[in-house]
Amino acid sequence: MKKNGEIDEKKQGVMGIFRDMEWLLHAIKNIKERNVKIDTVFSPFFSHEVQEALKLQPSPIRYFALAGGVLGIVAGFGLASYAHLEWKFITSGKPVLSWISFFVIAFEGCILGGVLATVIGMIVKNRLFHFRLPEVYDSRFSQDQFGLFVTCQEAEVDEVSMLLRDSGAEEVRVVGK
C-alpha cells in the first residue's frame, strides 16, 4: 500500500522470457492447467494462437464502430433534412424531403461516425494514454522475444518459476518482491 490509501500498482509475480512462440504456447498451456493467473503476455507481433490459448473474447471495439456508424447515418439524414426544410431547397418540382439524395450524406456520416467512434473506442479500451511502460516490460519483447508474466503469491513463486523453466523459458525472474 502507498500513502493516503492509494493502491500500489506493483504486482508480485514471475516473468518468463521465451525465444519461440511454441515454447510460449506450451508454457501458457502448463500454467492454465495449474490454475495460476496469467497476467500479461508480451509478443513482438499479434498472434491468433496466443489469443486462442488464453481463450480471450473478441474485442468490444466493433460495437463502438457500429454505434458510431448508426449515429452517423442518423446525423446525416438529420443534417440533410434540416438544410432542406430550413432553406427550402426545392428543385425541379421534387418533394421537399427527397430521401434518395440524402443517402449520400447518410453514407458519408456513417463512415465518419464509424471511424471516429472506433478511434475513441481504441483509446478507451486499450488505455493508450499510459506514458510509462509496466515494470515487467523488457525491450526484447518489441524485437524477437516473448514474455509471460504470471501473478502469484509469495509461497507459489518457486513452483511457478520451475514451471516456466520446465516449459522452455530462457530466463525467469521474480518481479515485485
| pLDDT for 10 | 56
List the one residue out of 81, 27, 25 whose CA is nearest residue 52. Answer: 25
DSSP letter string over 84-144? HHHHT---TT--SS-HHHHHHHHHHHHHHHHHHHHHHHHHHHTTTT--S--TT--GGGGTT
| pLDDT for 15 | 93
> How many percent of the chain have pLDDT more than 90?
44
Enumerate domains of the chain plus CATH numbers: 3-57+135-175 (3.30.70.1710), 61-125 (no CATH)
- Higher pLDDT: 72 or 3? It is 72
Residue 88 pLDDT > 90? no
The per-residue pLDDT for range 6-15, each reduced to its tens digit, is 334 456 889 9
The whole-model pTM stands at 0.67
